[in-house]
Structure 1
Amino acid sequence: EGDYESRARRSGSREPGVDRSRSRSPRRRSPDSDSDGSPRRSNGMLASARTLPEVVRKATTIWNGALILKNSLFPTKFHLTDGDSEIIESLMKDEDGKNQLRITQRLRLDQPKLDDVQKRIATSSSHAIFLGVAGSTASITNEDTSIQTRPMRNLVSYLKQKEAAGVISLLNKETEATGVLYSFPPCDFSTE
């Protein structure tokens, strides 16, 4: 496994199993857009990657921050492997504008729930799929002394033990756009 440990998928509704809002990240048409207006997926070069280290080498780090679970902070880097990069700026910050996202729920890794996540990705007006890897503690500032920085392998072990993905609710208070980020440990679903 090494540092290539977590896979995150973002899809378009606020809570797993409940499609509450059709509000999504803002879209702008650009010369780099497909005919449907979505930014082109820059994963053509990733098609030749056969291993996670190859994906990390070929994909650009698109987000540096931390995932927080309970009183633990896990420095994380996300590499975009598929989907809409505009989601990063519009949804992936906390209330204070920091790149720190709190896991608030778990999603069991059973087939009906995984089918629901897959359906959300397919039907959402906007989605992104990231490969999450261990980030640098140097890029993280955390003033909360009750939260301890831990290596990502601890989060991955926890999620594997619980047979679950972490669920992060995303909200942009200015635009009222919402989303859900699922953080999957290595499993059949996350390596598809």
Structure 2
Amino acid sequence: MKRHVRTTGTLVAALLIAGAAAGCSDDGGEGAASGTETHSAAEAPDTDVVPAATSSSTPAVDVKNGTLGKMLVDEKGRTLYLFDKDTKDKSKCNDDCATAWPPFTVKSTPTAGKGLKKDLLKTTKRDDGSEQVTYNGHPLYRFADDQKAGDTNGQGVDAFGAKWYVVDPDGKKITTAPKTNGGY
């Protein structure tokens, strides 16, 4: 129970901060409203903290054995999620949603790591024109509250109208809770 309260509290805090930041923008232009700004890997901060929405110069999707079993991760080992509200190859997560759940966008063709089905790895055009990586038809996202590689703080979170799940190597959602030492 303590984990759920902490995760929910952290998610709420992250959303409030993102909303405040969006409200404080003084450019008045349309660009601030999209919430899906992309950057090259050279522009992104060099930390394990997930940036708002980044593109990778060498995008890859890999498999990692984590607390939820075998799951999809990006080239830095950060967990990738699907959104139950999305339809096949079409993201329904924009604006504030894309701030909390940054889409995994790319500027070049992503590569499939060992254990993945290359024919399931594709991209789809987002509403803002960027290319988002998909696997088995699911647009892929990171979670802003995941602070380091392997974090799965977004697993099962109900936000922006549907639930979020970690993706397995077959391209299906993982619906189990993380395995912990506390018998969770």
Structure 2 length-normalised TM: 0.30
**Greater fraction helix:** 1
**Greater fraction strand:** 1
Structure 1 length-normalised TM: 0.29
More relative contact order, 1 or 2 (CA 8 Å, 6+ apart): 1
